[in-house]
Amino acid sequence: MENKNEYSFLKEKIKDKPFNWKHLWQKACLIAGAGILFGICACIAFCGLKPWAEKRFENSPQKVVVPPDDEEENPQNQEEEEQEDKTAVLDINNVRELNRAVYDVSRTAEKSVAQVIVRPAGDKWLDESYQAAAGIVLADNGREILVLTEGILFGNSEETITVTLPDDKEYEAVLKKKDENLGLAVVGISKTLLSDTVWTYTNFAVYGNSNLLGRGDGLIALGRPFGTKDGLAYGVVSSTQSQIFKADGMCRILESDIGANENSSAILFNVNGEFVGITCRAADETSRSNLIAYPISEIKSQIELLLNGSGVPYVGIRGEDIPKAVQETKQIPMGVYVKEVEADSPAMQSGIQSGDIIVSVDGDEIQTLASYKTKILTYRTDAKIRIGVKRAGADGYVDITYEVTVASKE
């Protein structure tokens, strides 16, 4: 009996603590108040940082991307299908309709053509010593309208640049990037300077595929084809086989039957109104009497670099492919024969010499000038690369590897 009373506390019932609604309400109010306070602080921070963020990102231009060519077969390489002989009967009305159709295309195309003028700096409004060239409106990087033109216009920093857009208004512009090797440049017009009606008259150019052009295809030349403002000329492609050799590669040239003079500067369009070429007086090393131009498909990589303010990679060798017959008869290794090394170029500074044969770049085999050019264009300026060459010696060819710092020629 005593034991039973001694442990009777074990039978006590433990009751749950009463639920405190007042305490719960206080916690809820506390959490809600903290949320409201956080929201107010975030709002104040956002309002305070917004002007700084807008200013910071306004100074960061958007990347410009040049669209690749459509993968279509060159009509020159297509087999001609047998067709029944049909004689077209044309009269004067057909000719008029054709001329009107081409003119209508040119009116649309010229909405992307600009006039670029470079004058000596200073108040020299009576000074007629200025340089002028056609330009093509290509892109908007968020801050500026970008216009591709000829690099021959720009000599030094003491210059005033103006661009006349298709709205017939003249705008101040700045040189964004130039490539002396190709002789091309990009200038920019601040969007804050543009008139309210500029886009009524101005369009961005539509890229065409110049690889599809063949001999006899129609061309429209706009800009300054005869050396004066607002020129217009029609013609045809006379050749697509000519080449010019520049540092670190060669480039095909689009030849036309359109007459030219030393001041000619034009943008070329196909009959669909697509941008297919830009003349470059710096590339015309033989002073031809007809318009010649860079085919746009040949230089898209370089244009994209210039539009984004990047330098075009430059090493500074002028090379040539070695014909297979010469390789076999003279026992010359396969690669790119260095005909010339440009003065003060990265190639000269590294020790590459005329007569060397380039056989590799960063371990990748080089057999042709085209493959060498393609490889060099994959780098950015200031990149350090290793160029392998074979150099003729008393006991045959020896292997040498040079470290070269890629630059740009501006």
Place of tokens 């074979």: 390
pLDDT attached to residue 32: 67
Q: Would you say residue 324 lies in a domain?
A: yes
CA distance 273 to 223: 14
| Residue 217 shares a structural domain with residue 190 | no
pLDDT attached to residue 123: 55
Tell me what the mean pLDDT of segment 253-277 comes to.
94
| Residue 286 shares a structural domain with residue 252 | yes
Q: Would you say residue 66 lies in a domain?
A: no
| Residue 234 shares a structural domain with residue 278 | yes
- Smallest Cα–Cα separation from 313: which of 373, 357, 398? 373
3-state secondary structure at position 4: helix
Mark which of 287, 307, 327 sits at the end of a domain.
307
What secondary structure does DSSP assign to 193-252, as a single string? Answer: G--TTHHHH--PPPB--GGG--TT-EEEEEEETTSSTTEEEEEEEEEEEEEEEETTEEEE
What secondary structure does DSSP assign to 270-296, as a single string? Answer: -TTS-EEEEE-GGG-TT--SEEEEEEG
CA distance 358 to 272: 42
Instruction: Bin 193: left if φ > 0, else alpha if -120 < ψ < 50, else beta.
Output: alpha
Domain that holds residue 348: 313-408
| Residue 193 shares a structural domain with residue 144 | yes
> Percent of the chain beyond pLDDT 70?
78
Q: Would you say residue 334 lies in a domain?
A: yes
| Residue 155 shares a structural domain with residue 191 | yes
Q: How far out from the chain centre does Cα 184 lie?
A: 10
Mark which of 169, 184, 201 sits at the end of a domain.
201
Residue 285, pLDDT above cutoff 80: no
Residue 128, pLDDT above cutoff 80: no
pLDDT in tens, 169-192: 999 999 999 999 999 999 999 999
Residue 213 identity (one-letter amino acid): L
Per mean pLDDT, which range of 97-101, 186-190, 362-366, 399-403 is the poorest?
97-101
| Residue 300 shares a structural domain with residue 317 | no
Output the domain CATH number for residue 265: 2.40.10.10
| Residue 266 shares a structural domain with residue 294 | yes
Q: Would you say residue 239 lies in a domain?
A: yes
pLDDT attached to residue 33: 67
Tell me what the mean pLDDT of segment 316-336 comes to.
92
Mark which of 280, 307, 334 sits at the end of a domain.
307
Output the domain CATH number for residue 335: 2.30.42.10
What secondary structure does DSSP assign to 46-111, as a single string? Answer: HHHHHHHHHHHHHTSPPPP-PPPPP----GGGSPPPP---------HHHHHHHHHHHHHHHHHHGG
Q: Are 280 and 183 in contact (CB under 8 A)?
A: yes
Q: How far out from the chain centre does Cα 312 lie?
A: 10
| Residue 294 shares a structural domain with residue 331 | no
- Smallest Cα–Cα separation from 207: which of 145, 257, 152, 270? 270
Q: Would you say residue 329 lies in a domain?
A: yes
| Residue 155 shares a structural domain with residue 222 | no
Q: Would you say residue 262 lies in a domain?
A: yes
Distances (CA, A) of 79 to 197, 218, 236: 49, 21, 22
| Residue 235 shares a structural domain with residue 320 | no
| Residue 293 shares a structural domain with residue 318 | no
- 387's enclosing H/E stretch is strand 384-393
- Our count of domains for the chain comes to 3
Q: What's the 3-state SS for 239-269? A: EEEEEEEECCEEEEEEEEEEECCCCCEEEEE
CA distance 378 to 368: 16
| Residue 301 shares a structural domain with residue 319 | no
pLDDT attached to residue 352: 97
Q: Would you say residue 28 lies in a domain?
A: no
pLDDT in tens, 9-60: 445 555 555 555 556 566 666 676 666 777 777 667 666 665 655 555 555 6
Q: Are 206 and 228 in contact (CB under 8 A)?
A: no
Q: Would you say residue 404 lies in a domain?
A: yes
